[in-house]
Structure 1
Amino acid sequence: MLPLVAAVSLALGGCSYLTGKDGYFRDKSEDYAAEQTYGRLTLPEGLNPREMPEYLRVPEQAETSGKIVGEVPRPDQRIMRTADEGYSVQRSGDQRWLLAEKSPEKIWPQLVRFWDVSNIPLSASDAKQGVMETQWIVMRDETSKDLVRRLFGRVVGMDSTEPQEDRFRLTVQQGVRAGTSEIKLEHVSRALGSEEKAVWRDGESGTNTSLEAGLLNEMLVFLVQNADDQSVSLVAQTLSIGDLSALIYDGNGNPVLKISQPFARSWQAVSVALSEAKIQVVDQNRSAGVFYIELGDEKTDKDDKKGFFSGLFGSSADDREQAPKTAYRVRVSPLGEEVQVTLEKDINTLPPVDVSEKVLQSIKSHLS
């Protein structure tokens, strides 16, 4: 019995030593109550203290001239309709655009229907170029019940100093990722009856960004609500990057793949094309615009009947392991609003023309 009591006492004593008031793992949650308060730290004369900014400053309440009338435009939003189909309003500075997880040929008919439902006639609709423009219309109509005019009244107001008419331009282009679309909206206005022509900004932010942002968000909701529309524009299929590319030749007869898209889109498209063409990429340097690839030699020991193209890329894992590899570089060079894609062995050496042609043609055929 005595040994048991001694063991229990020892165990309890050990717990007190670890977690008790003076223990090593004592409870420190109430220590703040015993802390002393000291005066503000003062600096010696001759030293100027640095003013501490108020990072969590509460803004002052803005005074309003009157009661807000009407609805508030929707905030920028993102809606995932399914795991693979989402819509979002993207923003960079004052610029906004609608990103849809649908290809241009699928989104185009829905956008045409959006203007039709809004009772806004189109003056131009070029699916091949991805541009649609509305006619000049009077938007400040308080009796109208269509979506766009109601939004216009909420954002711009109906108390313009003079009658005006407005016009919209919508640009649809292939997104950076395959199977996506970027939709940009532009708005211009002029005095009613004026003969002034519309001057589009070509991507620059406009004077009424609130209107454009509100309309993009309303357009997003419309696309989600009508996402089951399965109609496809066959003409708009040409908006893919593959149809905006061409294999040309420079002054020395060397093949060049020209892509009429900015560098960011072209780089992503070429990256996807290399993967789909099963061209082995061993490294890449986006800043330098270079993909480092490896290609099999023209002939293999296992099968002399294989063509040149299959020799380049290999038709099986065993062939690729046994065939010797040659290092090449796929260079993506920006040139204004387009890029040029070339193949080289190193910075000073170009491969044979037939090798460049087949590699670049393979990339072109897999651009999407």
Structure 2
Amino acid sequence: MMNMLQLSRRYISILALMIFVSAALSACQSVTSNDTVDYKSAGAVRGPNLSYPPDLITAQADRRYIVQDGTATMSEYNAAVKKSIQMCSNVMTGIPGMRIARDGERRWLVVEKPASELYPQVKDFWQENGFLLVVDSPSTGIMETDWAENRAKISQDWIRSTIGVAIDSIYDTGERDKYKTRLEVLKPGETEIYITQRGAIEKCTSDSTGNCISTVWTPRPNDPELEAAFLARLMERLGMTQEQAKAMVAVPLDPKTPKAKFVQDGTNQAHIELSAGFDRAWRDVGLALDRSNFTVEDRNRSTGVYYVRYVNPKDLGDTNGFFSNLFSSKDDSSLKAKKYQVVVKTTGDNSANVYVQNAEGKPENTPAGFQLLTVLTYQLTK
């Protein structure tokens, strides 16, 4: 009888500890709560993209808190509890010297920490938010997520509320997003973090009678509000309170942006003229690249060069268009991407030119080079 009583007390203690850990972890997770974005459920449904190494795409956020099977002893469970709470405390401790910087209609995060320390935390942040990373380059400070669906855009009607996740997978917004993150170091001990979003929407292709016969994924305009939402979430992940992060991101932007003009006069190399000094021109060109079909492979700020690959959707053919295969694990767009150099040169205190060169650093005075400059000009004037 005494053994049964002791066993019951032990189970009650374990149950109490489980409730305590659940509450603690719920509090920890609430740091990044936001009703406008929810990519976790979509990531769980889609599963990993098998064209990428598993170590780059496996989300670790929730699994680290799972209690193992019933063979664990009380001491092992207590150790797990202590470790879980410590992990949560590490998230909550935060990083001092963190602020939102602004210039015109651009905003980015500045943190007084080396990029080498921040990169693993930013990587964890994206995985904790339900994303799979398809680009993970600590040496260049660049990461990019796979395409994912924002399930927060699905209305919570009475059918979903009643039946719940049993039929949740049949709901689809017809939209997908992906995010690029770039860490820039301008001076020792200080890192700038840029987040850019790209979107796609599924559109219907109709026949002569107006009936939908197929759908195709096409690009949709960049959404600065989604970028702001994830900047705020990242600030929370690094230790700022939700109220502080939202307040800093919510400060109005200055709508004035530097003027960008595409110059093609036939006498000089085609280029873009920017009414901005080098610092601003370098930053704006980087954001323009991130928001286009460019992949930044490397960069050298001292020489003003971005080393990029560019995918032209037309190069992939009409029957195998880039956006019609956005979500296929067999996407071969990277194989057809061409390498270029995008060069930023100052021409005065408040002026700079942007040039496109080929992989060897020679002027790209071709229709392809003109198209790339046109794409960049469009992004720089948005």
Superposition TM-score, scaled by structure 1 size: 0.32
Where is the helix percentage greater, Structure 1 or Structure 2? 2
From the CA coordinates, give the structure whose radius of gyration is larger: 1
Superposition TM-score, scaled by structure 2 size: 0.31
